Chains A and B, each alone.
Chain A
């Protein structure tokens, strides 16, 4: 602690990002995202042939869900900050909110999944539903076609699926829009007071339920449903662990970037990075705990419906990836992040944050992509070849989708950063947060 921060150190009119300095990056990101989206949409709707359409659908789910977890995590940290009545995080809360505010935009990239042209390659249960002959109800059809889907029909049916899709989009969008507006309105209020603080706390508790439903059931509907026969009761928690961990990594990167540009002066310091580093460490361990528990129970019980997931991912090259994940996603960051000095150093902590995000990308790649060769070979062997662990050449589509949605994510994040003050300069607890000691 260099010196005690007083109200004289707080920027009265806020600490604003100079938009002209990030304009180039923003335009570049928007350009890449725009062109990439057009190309991707053409591909997803079959302009480049059915082979690309089918393989690229998986690329799209991978990239879409990867960035969605980061945005959802931003909303989660905002909610957690508010409900836990946290004092330390006030000076970085705006970064949580800015990250969360990318949610509605990233969610828009999920809209292609609504169309049969796209989801016919992803979600086989929909194909079976759609194959209902005239004069039969879906229920009657499923009773003969696939008893598993008959039993799951109360959840896996098209109207409910569309309804849930709308709920995911609208729910967290409303939550983060309201909370961010509540927070940013205070920046210019001549009489800030504590009313907004209490209001934000109250209106953050029930949205945690919306958050939990969103992270769990988007995981079920977009990812777990890639193989409708497979299920894991830990799936929601598993995705939640990766989501919170990596959104914290993004938050650390954003804060380091802002610090390097001379922002967040006086209000954030090594102590804040130490806490964020501790959260990164905690969720690295939590992820490993959940990931192992999921594997362990399935491995031990050895039930056919459950083991399919790991059988695919322990075949050929995927197995290398899975074993690498054990060391790369857990052992290495666990040992490195044990050190306190490293967590207090924004530069080293940022390196770890970038590393963690790379591991998250590998994690999500292994969640989505191994399903591609199996499903496509099952759906249309005449186009995609027979069932195989990996389809050659489909990798380039993964990169295209990742870069497209990644550029969009970067654009919307930078846009959000430039909209308001970078920390809540009139929050009643900003001084408490600035003088943090832990």
Chain B
């Protein structure tokens, strides 16, 4: 007996073109959905605004990362070169006025820490890496990397309703509407 329990992920609808997707996205946004996404073969300018996406908070992470890097470098250089083991190089003073010598390190660590926060902050925010995505269960979804423009509305969205959402997607121009189910 092969009974596999399945869980509904949501609806997947295809749209004819980037502009059709853009207009549909505005309507989905205005309908008040939150857990949904667009899938396109290439970046579509202005789609984030059409989807009603807010600015990412990633820049703030990066800013904090950069400041931490700068402060770490200063603390590292200052404590080792001035406080713990005062190192006289080229008759330069071993006090706060040695700071120009630390600038390259401060600059580099600012970049390094910013870079790390960009990478790991981004991976965290978009929840990558992951082994599988429920949408891979759809037979048509692979076309999102070729010529397909898709909108997927998740079932866990508060506004999701099996009939109403399906009708809405059809109304705004969605084709090949498919209920995607993931194996539990």
A437, B103: Cβ atoms closer than 8 Å? no
Contacts of B104 in A (CB 8 A): 296
B46, A300: Cβ atoms closer than 8 Å? no
Contacts of B49 in A (CB 8 A): 1
A295, B100: Cβ atoms closer than 8 Å? yes
A292 sits at the interface (CB 8 A):
yes
Contacts of B90 in A (CB 8 A): 300, 302
Q: How far does the Cβ of A1 sit from chain B's closest Cβ, in whole Å?
A: 6
Q: How far does the Cβ of B128 sit from chain A's closest Cβ, in whole Å?
A: 24
Known contacts: A1-B46, A1-B49, A302-B90. The answer to whether A338 contacts B63 by CB under 8 A is yes
A292, B46: Cβ atoms closer than 8 Å? no
Q: How large is the interface on B (under 10, 10 to 19, 20 to 34, 35 or more residues)?
A: 10 to 19
Q: Which residues of chain A in 280-303 are interfacial with respect to chain B, using CB atoms and an 8 Å cutoff? A: 292, 295-296, 299-300, 302
Contacts of B55 in A (CB 8 A): 340
Contacts of B46 in A (CB 8 A): 1, 437
Bound form: Cα–Cα A371–B116 in Å: 46
A437, B45: Cβ atoms closer than 8 Å? yes
Bound form: Cα–Cα A253–B52 in Å: 32
Q: Which residue of A lies closest to B62 (CB)?
A: A338
Q: How far does the Cβ of A56 sit from chain B's closest Cβ, in whole Å?
A: 35
Q: How far does the Cβ of B44 sit from chain A's closest Cβ, in whole Å?
A: 10
Q: Which residues of chain A in 105-135 are interfacial with respect to chain B, using CB atoms and an 8 Å cutoff? A: none
Instruction: Please report the number of residue pairs spanning A and B whose Cβ atoms sit closer than 8 angstroms.
Output: 21
Contacts of A338 in B (CB 8 A): 59, 63
B101 sits at the interface (CB 8 A):
yes
Q: Which residue of B lies closest to A299 (CB)?
A: B100
Contacts of A302 in B (CB 8 A): 90-91
Bound form: Cα–Cα A189–B103 in Å: 55
A300, B101: Cβ atoms closer than 8 Å? yes
B63, A296: Cβ atoms closer than 8 Å? no
Q: How far does the Cβ of A338 sit from chain B's closest Cβ, in whole Å?
A: 7
Interface string of A294-331 (1 = CB under 8 A from B): 01100110100000000000000000000000000000
Interface string of B32-46 (1 = CB under 8 A from A): 000000000000011
Q: How far does the Cβ of A327 sit from chain B's closest Cβ, in whole Å?
A: 13
Contacts of A300 in B (CB 8 A): 90, 92, 100-101
Q: Which residue of B lies closest to A438 (CB)?
A: B45
Contacts of B101 in A (CB 8 A): 300
Q: How far does the Cβ of B60 sit from chain A's closest Cβ, in whole Å?
A: 10
Interface string of B72-113 (1 = CB under 8 A from A): 000000000000000000111000000011011000000000
B100, A296: Cβ atoms closer than 8 Å? yes
Q: How far does the Cβ of A166 sit from chain B's closest Cβ, in whole Å?
A: 40
A292, B45: Cβ atoms closer than 8 Å? no
A296, B103: Cβ atoms closer than 8 Å? yes
Bound form: Cα–Cα A107–B45 in Å: 44
What are 21 A-B contacts with C-beta separation under 8 Å? A1-B46, A1-B49, A292-B100, A292-B103, A295-B100, A296-B100, A296-B103, A296-B104, A299-B100, A300-B90, A300-B92, A300-B100, A300-B101, A302-B90, A302-B91, A338-B59, A338-B63, A340-B55, A340-B59, A437-B45, A437-B46
12 more A-B residue pairs beyond the given contacts A1-B46, A296-B100, A338-B63, with a C-beta to C-beta distance below 8 A: A292-B100, A292-B103, A296-B104, A299-B100, A300-B92, A300-B101, A302-B90, A338-B59, A340-B55, A340-B59, A437-B45, A437-B46
